[in-house]
Chain A
Amino acid sequence: DTAVSQTPKYLVTQMGNDKSIKCEQNLGHDTMYWYKQDSKKFLKIMFSYNNKELIINETVPNRFSPKSPDKAHLNLHINSLELGDSAVYFCASSQEASLPYNEQFFGPGTRLTVL
């Protein structure tokens, strides 16, 4: 049983295209996240989302948008893909965003390559 799953695992696409990455968690968690990990291995938070609040990292271009059909899913939609968007994107979830002890469970990652 996979706790946090993402699809696809690999995504290769052309500049200018629009793509989506799906994420699902079966842990019953209230909060989900999207991270970008670039070639330098920094994990950068893009969004955190629960039923009440979407927190956006202000450095994230508005070409990126999270979409949550329900508490167990948080999909990432990207418009007009650019070369610099190439990275590994991780989805994660945790019980509650506003608790200090807030272990995050990560999905396997989606390696996006923009040509």
Chain B
Amino acid sequence: GQNIDQPTEMTATEGAIVQINCTYQTSGFNGLFWYQQHAGEAPTFLSYNVLDGLEEKGRFSSFLSRSKGYSYLLLKELQMKDSASYLCAAMDSNYQLIWGAGTKLIIKP
């Protein structure tokens, strides 16, 4: 079956760095997405990886290893506004997104 695993919740301190891991199993693979979802709001796109390696975009970076079925989202210089759920989603061979349950990130001062 198709499956996405990510931690349910993580806590980090303002100004620090946090890494959110995601492992995936899909029928075929067409890329790995990360979305941010603040409480009571819609998900918004953060990043897309389809090749192995690290993609950096400001304070956020995303990494992919296709051979390991693994990705992580790295958030640097954490701000209070980064408190949100972070959703990992893998695109299968039918171009359908398979979503994880999300990792709730709590930022403490």
Say yes or no: B102 contacts A103, CB within 8 Å: no
Number of A interface residues in the complex (CB < 8 A):
22
- For the complex, count residues of B whose C-beta is within 8 A of A: 22
Question: A-B pairs with CB below 8 Å: how many?
Answer: 48
Interface stretch, picked from B13-21, B44-52, B61-69, is B44-52
Does B80 reach chain A (CB closer than 8 Å)? Answer: no
Q: Which residue numbers of B lie inside 8 Å of A, CB to CB?
A: 30-31, 33, 41-45, 48, 50, 85, 87, 89, 91, 94-97, 99-102
Q: A45-B97, A103-B48, A105-B45 are in contact. List 13 more A-B contacts (CB 8 A).
A: A40-B101, A41-B101, A42-B100, A44-B99, A48-B96, A55-B94, A90-B43, A100-B30, A100-B50, A100-B95, A104-B45, A106-B44, A107-B42
